[in-house]
Amino acid sequence: MKISASAILEDIKLPDYKGRHVFTAKLRLWIFIVFWAIGSIYFKGMWRSAPWIPLVIALAFLLTGICYRNILRNRALMVSFVLELAADLVSMTLIVYITGGTQSNYFTLYLMYCVAAGMFYNYQVAIVAAILSIFFYGSLVLSMELGWLKPFVYSGEHASWFGNQTVIRYANLLMLLLFLPIVVYAVKISNFFSRLKQRALEERNKQLVALNRISSTIRRMTSPMEVIQQVLAGVVEGLGYDVCLLVMPNRATGLIEFFIPHQNPLVDQIEARLGFQLGDMKLTPGHPNSIFTAIRRNRLVFRQELSELVKGVDPHWSKELADRVQEEMGFKKFVIMPLVAERRVIGALIGISRTEFVDETRIGVLENFSNQAALAIESAQLFEEIKNKNVELERANKIKSEFLAIMSHELRTPLTAIIGFSELLMEEVMGELNAEQKDSLREVINNGEHLLHLINSILDLAKVENAVD
């Protein structure tokens, strides 16, 4: 198995890798302190029997400190990483050597080290640790068998700790070769389930972000087209579908229209293949398309063929063209979820996936998402209608004000003349008047002044409205 530098740290991001490394560096420090404490108190004869052993272990710890410093500074990451493993294994090999060599039961340190490597990092690190463990332990066995390295003899206190403990030749090496792959495989399985859990959490976070986006959209009350684009983006980014379409009848024409996400590479590829925009597709409500019939009845629909979805759509799709596009894009599953607002179907979301199996969790999340999406779209449409009605009312109010101003002016001019001439007649400028004539003129003047007062009030009201506008 070839393991590259990028493969070893493939799934370990640098900040996380550093954080784990700080922990393992502290763990090494405690192990080193405990080793020296035990060596100084219980095995003082080590310095007389083989002083080079504690010195090599000390140098190994110093090397790990240098590597630790390089890793924190992003220098020679892979070289430092391998040197750290080698320094650890040199120390463990020396412990195995002084406790019996090839017959020491402390060879299990290699197993525990591989388990720790897998738990702290990943199974690929455990593989590297296993390979290096076999190399160092095999080198120890070979060196002692060929006589290059004499068995360790300890003459101080607690000498029984360094005696022979097994009689089967090569038993420990065989056991190490047997158990190391098992340990690595167990670590790999553990990492696999950890990744599954982490992936599930990431998916759940994406779903929550998508649902939160719809909630925010409802609060902002943006235009219907902006809401639709937010919904489509939420399904693709948050719910794990490769492409999402939204179908909804046009209230003015009655035609079923298709809405597509902006800046979607798959949509661009399909449109380049077809030669027309997917957003130009229309469907007459009376066409016998089983999918849209089921949508009107508020039913969740699953399909595996694109040709069933675009049946009867204008521009026309032939079955051969639909099958060819589906094969080129790799689409396997089509999930059609009705959009229901106030117990009324207003459209549908079409989630397109490249995987054949869509689990119940994703379906449930899509249903919750569609409920909020329907509410957001319905609210945006109502808000748009209210906005348009307000514009029309403002226009009508302006016309009314202009009409009142013009009519009031046109009425006041002749009325002023009527009142003026009536007053001249009352003053008998044009001749004497009898009592009955004077009463009639007085009635004309009073009613004219009352009407003039009403006209002036209307003009004042029109001026106030214009000032407010």
pLDDT digits (tens, 9 = 90+) for 214-258: 666 555 656 788 888 877 877 777 677 888 888 888 877 888 888
Strands of 171-249, DSSP E: 243-249
Helices (H), ranges, 349-359: none
pLDDT at 171 over 60: no
pTM of the model: 0.48
pLDDT at 1 over 50: no
The pairing of beta strand 344-353 with beta strand 243-249: antiparallel
Answer with the one of 174, 197, 220 that is the final residue of a domain.
Answer: 197
Please indicate whether residue 259 or residue 429 has the higher confidence score (pLDDT): 259
pLDDT given at position 211: 63
- Together in a domain, 25 and 136: yes
Confidence label for 275 from pLDDT (cuts 50, 70 and 90): confident
Please indicate whether residue 463 or residue 331 has the higher confidence score (pLDDT): 331
Please indicate whether residue 334 or residue 462 has the higher confidence score (pLDDT): 334
Strands of 87-242, DSSP E: none
Mean pLDDT, rounded, for 290-318: 85
Report the 10 Å Cβ neighbour count for 108: 14
Cβ atoms of residues 351 and 338 within 8 Å: no
- Together in a domain, 440 and 316: no
- Together in a domain, 379 and 426: no
pLDDT at 186 over 80: no
Answer with the one of 146, 162, 197 that is the final residue of a domain.
Answer: 197
pLDDT given at position 17: 56
Mean pLDDT, rounded, for 86-112: 82
Answer with the one of 160, 175, 197 that is the final residue of a domain.
Answer: 197
**Triad 361, 302, 346: Cα angle to 5°:** 90
- Together in a domain, 17 and 158: yes
- Mean pLDDT, the chain, rounded, equals 76
pLDDT at 67 over 70: yes
- Together in a domain, 137 and 225: no
- Together in a domain, 84 and 22: yes
**Triad 362, 366, 369: Cα angle to 5°:** 140
Strand order of the β-sheet with 333-341 is 282-283, 256-259, 243-249, 344-353, 333-341, 301-303
Helices (H), ranges, 258-318: 265-274, 290-296, 306-309
Hey, what's the torsion of the CAs at 19, 20, 22, 26, to 10 degrees?
150
The CA-based diameter of the chain, rounded to the nearest angstrom, is: 159
Q: What is the rounded distance in angstroms from the CA atom of residue 467 to the CA atom of residue 469?
A: 6
Q: What is the rounded distance in angstroms from the CA atom of residue 100 to the CA atom of residue 162?
A: 6
Q: What is the rounded distance in angstroms from the CA atom of residue 110 to the CA atom of residue 14?
A: 26
pLDDT given at position 16: 52
Cβ atoms of residues 423 and 445 within 8 Å: yes
Cβ atoms of residues 207 and 365 within 8 Å: yes
Helix (H, G, I), strand (E, B) or coil at 99: coil
Q: Helices (H) and strands (E) in the chain — how many of each?
A: 15, 6
- Together in a domain, 116 and 164: yes
Please indicate whether residue 60 or residue 193 has the higher confidence score (pLDDT): 60
Domain count for the chain, please give it: 3
- Together in a domain, 342 and 421: no
pLDDT tens digits along 43-54 = 666 666 777 877
Mean pLDDT, rounded, for 86-104: 82
pLDDT given at position 418: 81
Q: What is the rounded distance in angstroms from the CA atom of residue 152 to the CA atom of residue 148?
A: 12
CATH assignment at residue 276: 3.30.450.40
- Together in a domain, 404 and 381: no
Q: Which residues pair with 249 in a beta bridge?
A: 256
CATH assignment at residue 408: 1.10.287.130
Give the domain extent around 38: 5-197
Helix, strand, coil in percent for the chain, rounding step 5: 70, 10, 25
- Together in a domain, 189 and 228: no
pLDDT given at position 189: 59
pLDDT given at position 57: 80
How close are the terminal C-alpha atoms of the chain, in Å?
79
Q: What is the rounded distance in angstroms from the CA atom of residue 50 to the CA atom of residue 212?
A: 67
- Together in a domain, 425 and 362: no
- Together in a domain, 183 and 252: no
Helix (H, G, I), strand (E, B) or coil at 176: helix
Mean pLDDT, rounded, for 441-448: 84
